[in-house]
Each structure stands twice: as C-alpha cells, then as structure tokens.
Amino acid sequence: MGFISASFPRELTIPWLREGYLSGAFTPADVVGEILRRVGEDRGMNIWIAPPSPESVAPYLERLRDADPAVMPLWGIPFAIKDNIDWTGAETTAGCPAYAYRPDENAAVVERLIAAGALPLGKTNLDQFATGLVGTRSPYGETHNALRPELISGGSSSGSAVAVARGHAVFALGTDTAGSGRVPAALNNLVGYKPSLGAWPVRGVVPACASLDCVSVFAHTLEDALAVDGAVRGPDARDPWSRPLPRAAARLPRRLCLPDQPPAFYGPFAEAYRAAWEQALRRLEALGVPVEYVDAGLFAEAASLLYGGPWVAERWAALGGFVEAHAEAVFPVTGQVLRSGADSRYTAAALFTAKHRLQALKLEARRLLANAVLALPTCGGTWTRQQLRANPVGANSDMGRYTNHCNLLDLCAAAIPAGFAGNGLPFGITLFGTAEQEALVCGLAKLFLSENPGGAAMPLKEAVISANGQGGSDGGQEISANHPVALRAPASTATEAASPKNGVEATTRVAVCGLHMRGFPLERQMQKHGAVFLEETVTAPVYRMIKLPADPAKPGLIRVSRGGASLRLEVWEMPLREFGAFAAQIPAPLGIGKVELEDGTAVPGFICEAYASDAAGTEDITSSGGWRQLRQR
C-alpha cells in the first residue's frame, strides 16, 4: 500500500495498529517498512545486535497473510527480543560473540507470542550476560538513552527499552533478575512489567541467576504490557521454574505503603530526582488509597544479598566454565562481577545461612504487603555514559538500590512513568506486590497513570524525541463505581458508573464474548465507542454457549439453572455516555444483561434470549470453552 511514514506516530501501540489494520489503512508490511527506516536512522545508537531486515521478517509477514486476525490477539504487532532469549531467526549471543549459538527452537515466551500473531523483528543489545543495570557493558557498543544520548539507557535490557522508546517496536521482551526490566523503563519513560517469578516461562533464556530470572516486557502503556502478559502467562511443562500464577482482574489494594524515611538520591541529577519523587509522593497520597508509612529497611537488607551474598555464585555456576575458557571474550567489568562468585566466602554453609535469613525477610515482606502495594522510586538518579565509564561498578550498584530486592523476596513489580525530573529526564516509580497479588499492582498502576496531572510528561517526551531525530481472594479494595477508573466495581453496586469525579469521565465495564472481542470484525465498534480492553477472564459456571445460525456466525451466551460451564470472554471499559448508543445497535436475540464472572462480580455484557437455542441450525458449542477457542480449533 505504501503508507506514508510521516503518518505513523513515534509511539506505536497495540490499539492504534489494530485499528489501522482493521480499517485497511495500512498493512503489517507497511509498518515493518517504517520500522526499518527508523532502525536505519538510529543505527549509531547501538540498539540492535541482530537488527530487523526485509529477509528476516519476510517469513513472518507471509505467515500473517494466511492467518486469521480474529483468533490472534497480537496479529501483526511487531516486537523486539533481548539477545539472551532464544529466537530461531538469529543467533543468541547474550552480548558475547564467542558465546553465540543458533537455537533449535524459540524460547517459550517467543513461541507463545508468535502463536498469538506477534511479529518478531530481531535481537537487541544488552549488558553482557545480563550482568548490569546501565546498558554500557556490551562489545556491541553502549546503547544510547532514547531521549538524551549522553545519558545511560539503563540495563541490562538496554536495547529492548530503547527500541520501544524510539518506535522500532510496539513492545520488547527483556529479562529481569535485579531490575533489568525496570531501570531501562524508568530511564526511557516506558512501562516495564515484571511478572511474578515463574508466571512466564524462562525456558530458552540464557540464565543469569536461574532461581531469580524473569522475562519482562517494555511498552508505552500498561494495557499493552498486560496484553503481552495475556499471551505468554502460564506454566510450561518443560520449564522447572514455571508455576501456575493466574493474574486476576485489576483491583485496588487496601493499603499503599510508602517509605517512612526519604530515599537516597545520587548522581548529577540527584536534586531533580528528589523533587520528582516528592511530586510523585503527592500524587500517590492523593489517590484515595489509605497510606501507611513503613520501615523499608527489610527491602534494603534483601537487596544487599544479591551481589553481597552467595547468589552471585549462582551466576558463576552458570557461566564460570565459559569465562575461564574464553577470558579474552568477556567484557572486563562483567568478568570482574562474575568472578566474584568464585570467592571462597561463598561456601555451602554461607549459602544456607543467607537462605535462612532471606526466608525470614520473605515472611516479613508478606506480612507487610498483605493486601497492600509498596511504592518506591525506580531509580534514585542516573549518570552520563562518560561518568559511568569512570565508576563502572559503584554507579551500577547505585542503579539497583530500589530494584535488587524484588525477585529475592518473590515480588511482582510494575515500573511506570511519573513525570519528568528535567528536560528529557524522565522519572519513574515502581509498584511492588506479593506474587499472588499482581492484580493489586495493576489496579494501583492504572489509577496512578489515569491521574497524570495536565498530561505534561508525554508532550515533553515527544518533543525531545522529535528534536533528537486472582480472583477476589486477595483481599483487595474494590474500586468504587464512581471512581475515575472503574476497574472492578463491587457486585452490589446499583450502577456500573456514577457521576464523574474530578472531571474524569464515568465509565462502565462491558463483557463481550464474540465478534466484539479483540481481533474479531466488530472490535472496531468497541473502539468507535471509546472502549478500552481491560482483561480476558471467564464466567461463573452457569452458562451455555450456542452458535447462532447467522452470517457471519456469532455466539450466544445463555444462563442456565443446571449443566452450565465457565466460558472465556473479554471485559472492556466504555464511557457511560456511549453505552446507550452501543447497546441500541445489538440485534435480537442478543442483548445486554448482567454477566456473572468467576469471582462472583456481575457486569453488563452480551447475553442471549433462551428461545434462540431452539432455532433451526443452532449448535451448542459450550464444550469449546469460548468463541475464540472454537475458532482456534
């Protein structure tokens, strides 16, 4: 089609691309063409190790031509892959040419994304062997910050973050052991989502500390990050580290924990970061969630164990043999860090002493964060790349002050933008929760991001880029129906959204189970009425689903008194002012009623009159589990 490149926004998001695809405005090939142009412009920023090319992307574009976008929620969405995650389209180097190998199969997360229709582009730069938080420890060059090239990009997932920030990809996979999926997000004004340990498979990932490694995602919005989560989450039978940890619908915590002592700030912008944190604190305190000021000492103590305790020996166990055999191929400061794991202090007795102390800290953290979320700065400062070269170990250690504790304590985290500390100097906070309470982190993150005062951060970021070329058991506080972000209203509320608060528009949730879901023909109706996807979930086990004899075919959801099942559907959020006009378009025998979800809440959604099941040509499809699942067969 030859879509005009100037019409593409710098920030590529899933809803924008899907709308363009569905309307026929452009094709995945057009998008790839624009991405290749941008990659060429930014070649000197050292973002990619194996950059996208027409030849490498062609097989995946061809596959999309034969695929049904209706059954692929990420159809045509381009993504980047950190080069310690296996993709059969390129070698895996882990930032070390001598280590390179060509994988026989994709990493589990990559395979799941491709199955969902996502378009792999190439492999991104990283701190060698994912050892670093700065983005400068690579023989492939120092990755430049997306907004100010003289600053560090953050690491170790440096290329992945900058690829998204520079518009080379909609989202990118990183890894996160000590903060590598969060620090680069903060320094490049992105969302960095780190799921709970084991929630996403790590099979096919070069280990840093295998017991602590996570795959993570960078995106411009939390919604895009969670769309990726929906495609890759779940146990993998071949991955010994994976575990079943479903993510429930977003909800607010009962408490917001903030440190009772001011965090320490560092680097040349320390005072600007301090002011940005104080501003973020005021925003957090104004959210309406009860605030508790807590002693954050346990998190600092846990963080100290990562590189000051025997866990550094786990890195040596994974890579020591290679380092000893290829000393000349290892980046000097990386080799220094890895060799510290061979220190004679790290005996078996020292390991168990540290593990026992960590277990006590985990218990303390779980008690503190029961039904709560902790907020900290993602970084306490940043550095120029020149300053980093002068102090490579100390400056890197500073970057992990508020991140290193996370995986050791079995926490999940969302790093989110929180404004700017200066011109082209983004500031971010991280929200932490226990492994089983990702829903609370997501709920608070959505609320915080919705309260962006004046929308100042995004225009500034755009200007700089242009200039530079589980269910209800977690005890969470339900977000009330008249809250500006109606994420999960209590089942007992009389209306799904009341009057706006602070001038923010009232909304209602809408459950859809057929052609209005993502990737199906009527998704554009949802977008036309201003609806935003929230989550994929399942109904209570009290429904049957039929296939109506219509053209195009569509499902009908019927509540039954016995013989029901749980069926998969999607929940969207729609402005209340649009809801009436949307509902008026629905033809019989379909209509809007209350749909009961698995957690007992009831939301407005598509239901079907029972008489339709007696019509000629109707087929009971309950056993399929849902309309999308039926189409995927």
Q: Which residues are marked as active site? A: 82, 156, 180
The amino acid at 587:
P
| Peptide bond preceding 156 in cis form (omega within 30 of 0) | yes
Non-local CB neighbours of 56 within 8 Å, separated by 6+ positions: 50, 89, 90, 121, 122
Distance, CA of 535 to CA of 530 (rounded, Å): 16
Contact 168, 8 (CB under 8 A): no
Helical H segments across 199-310, by residue range:
222-232, 270-285, 297-308
Non-local CB neighbours of 486 within 8 Å, separated by 6+ positions: 479, 496, 497, 506, 507, 508, 509, 573
Handedness of CA 161, 163, 168, 173 (dihedral sign): negative
DSSP bridge partners of 350: none
User: In a 3-state reduction of DSSP, which class is residue 545?
Assistant: strand
Nearest of 318, 365, 57, 322 to residue 211 by alpha carbon = 318
Tally of CB atoms within 10 A around 398: 20
Non-local CB neighbours of 444 within 8 Å, separated by 6+ positions: 252, 253, 256, 287, 289, 373, 375, 431
| Peptide bond preceding 541 in cis form (omega within 30 of 0) | no
Distance, CA of 218 to CA of 215 (rounded, Å): 11
> Hey, what are 36's tokens?
């290749």
Handedness of CA 47, 50, 53, 56 (dihedral sign): negative
For 33-102, give the DSSP string: HHHHHHHHHTGGG--EEE---HHHHHHHHHHHHTS-GGG-TTTT-EEEEETTB--TTS-B-TT-GGG-B-
Residue with tokens 């999926």: 181
Non-local CB neighbours of 624 within 8 Å, separated by 6+ positions: 545, 630, 633
Nearest of 448, 442, 60 to residue 225 by alpha carbon = 442
Distance, CA of 215 to CA of 134 (rounded, Å): 18
Tally of CB atoms within 10 A around 274: 18
The amino acid at 208:
A
User: How far, in Å, are 32, 78, 393, 483, 486 from residue 252 at the CA level?
Assistant: 38, 32, 38, 11, 10
The amino acid at 262:
P
Nearest of 194, 195, 169 to residue 181 by alpha carbon = 194
